[in-house]
Amino acid sequence: MVRKVKKENPRILILVTFLLMAVISISIYKFIINPRNQHVFKIEPDSTVSISPDKLNSHNVILIRLNNHTVLMQKNSEEKIYPASLTKIMTAIVAIENLPNLREKIRLTNFTFQGLYEADASMTGFQPGENVSAIDLLYGALLPSGAESCIGLADQIAGSDQNFVKMMNQKAADLGMDNTHFENATGLHNENHYTTVKDLAILLNYALQNDTFREIFTSSRHSTQPTNRHPGGITFYSMMFEELNNQNIIDGEILGGKTGYTTEAGLCLASLAKVGKQEYILISAGAKGNHHSEQYNITDALAVYNSIGK
């Protein structure tokens, strides 16, 4: 008896092929395109940093070489910390990505300032009733660490600080900042407002890819456009560059940074530097001291950057 050979249905073959291609495409998307996988750090087996993390004042530290996302140094990098004003890195990048026009005017109201002076928050110098461009508020948030600039941006974009914080937490989740939760846009202390220096490195690494953010982050000063409350504008300065006080590293330059401090967080710093031909980011937190003591977050940054390649 001759056995009949069953012919394959070409429609089924086409369907199976299509499904396989779809699965492969989704896998490639998740691994390559999804932001969670853009910032996977790898450990350098033979570190090029000569200083020991134990010699630093900061309790939590991570140093990343940007070109290949390599961790050159870490110390308690996945331990929970309070980010203080390093929070404003997230505030700024979320605002930049959700503002269609950075030149639009935003009106700061009495509500914008509610509770900020009582909390002894850092301020930019704007006033209630002032109409300020979005770009000037972004500079105000990152350079002098102005809390009213953050609230003004949050209210404009999301209607309230609380709604804006939801966007911040969603962004953190998208980036794979799995040990981070925000409660406000300013960094004022809250027990449920926390992160890690590793998560902050993921955030800064991402934010620096945005040209607007990088330009602001690396600026030492900024003069605003005239407003209805300040006809001559306001000039303010980067707190990091002021605390750096013209000090710099031997074989390069600290390009930009954001300081932070609360009693609970200690002295914190997120900075970008170029040493030789490479760029690095350093996140540190938990250094003892305050605004009136030696700035141990700055001295740690100088020590670390100066030790690269030595």
User: Tokens for 54?
Assistant: 């134990």
Question: Largest Cα–Cα distance in the chain?
Answer: 101
Confidence at residue 42, expressed as pLDDT on a 0 to 100 scale:
83
* Highest mean pLDDT: which range of 37-41, 172-176, 246-250: 172-176
Q: For strand 42-43 and strand 70-75, is the pairing parallel, antiparallel, or unpaired? A: parallel
Q: Which of 58, 75, 77, 88 is catalytic?
A: 88
pLDDT-derived band at 277, boundaries 50, 70, 90: very high
Active site residue 50: no
Indicate the CATH number for domain 43-307.
3.40.710.10
Active site residue 85: yes
Could you tell me if 229 and 113 are in contact, meaning their C-beta atoms sit under 8 angstroms apart? Answer: no
Q: Catalogue the long-range contacts made by 146-150 (C-beta closer than 8 Å, 24 or more residues apart).
A: 146/122, 146/236, 147/116, 147/119, 147/121, 147/122, 147/123, 147/186, 147/188, 148/108, 148/112, 148/113, 148/116, 148/123, 148/124, 149/124, 150/88, 150/91, 150/185, 150/186
- As a whole number, mean pLDDT of residues 273-283 equals 97
Active site residue 171: no
pLDDT-derived band at 12, boundaries 50, 70, 90: low
- As a whole number, mean pLDDT of residues 81-105 equals 98
Q: Which of 85, 149, 238, 271 is catalytic?
A: 85
Confidence at residue 63, expressed as pLDDT on a 0 to 100 scale:
97
Please give the sequence-ordered ranges of beta strands (E in DSSP) within the chain, or none if there are none. Answer: 42-43, 60-65, 70-75, 105-107, 131-133, 221-223, 235-237, 252-262, 266-275, 278-287
- With a pLDDT cut of 90, the percent of the chain lying above it is 84
Q: Which of 122, 145, 284, 307 is catalytic?
A: 145
pTM of the model: 0.88
| 266 pLDDT higher than 80 | yes
Q: Any idea where the domains of the chain sit in the sequence? A: 43-307
Could you tell me if 133 and 106 are in contact, meaning their C-beta atoms sit under 8 angstroms apart? Answer: yes
Confidence at residue 26, expressed as pLDDT on a 0 to 100 scale:
44
Residue identified by tokens 């069953």 is 6
Mean pLDDT score across all residues of the chain: 91
What burial class does residue 112 get, using C-beta atoms within 10 Å of its C-beta: 0-12 exposed, 13-18 middle, 19+ buried?
A: buried
Could you tell me if 166 and 158 are in contact, meaning their C-beta atoms sit under 8 angstroms apart? Answer: yes
Could you tell me if 118 and 228 are in contact, meaning their C-beta atoms sit under 8 angstroms apart? Answer: no
Could you tell me if 196 and 78 are in contact, meaning their C-beta atoms sit under 8 angstroms apart? Answer: yes
Q: Which of 5-9, 158-162, 179-183 has the lowest mean pLDDT?
A: 5-9
Q: Rounded CA gap, 259 and 219, in Å?
A: 14
**Quick one: which of 41, 84, 310 has its CA closest to 201?**
41
pLDDT-derived band at 6, boundaries 50, 70, 90: very low
Q: In Å, how far from its chain's centre is CA 206?
A: 8
Confidence at residue 13, expressed as pLDDT on a 0 to 100 scale:
58
Q: Rounded CA gap, 100 and 293, in Å?
A: 41
| 124 pLDDT higher than 80 | yes
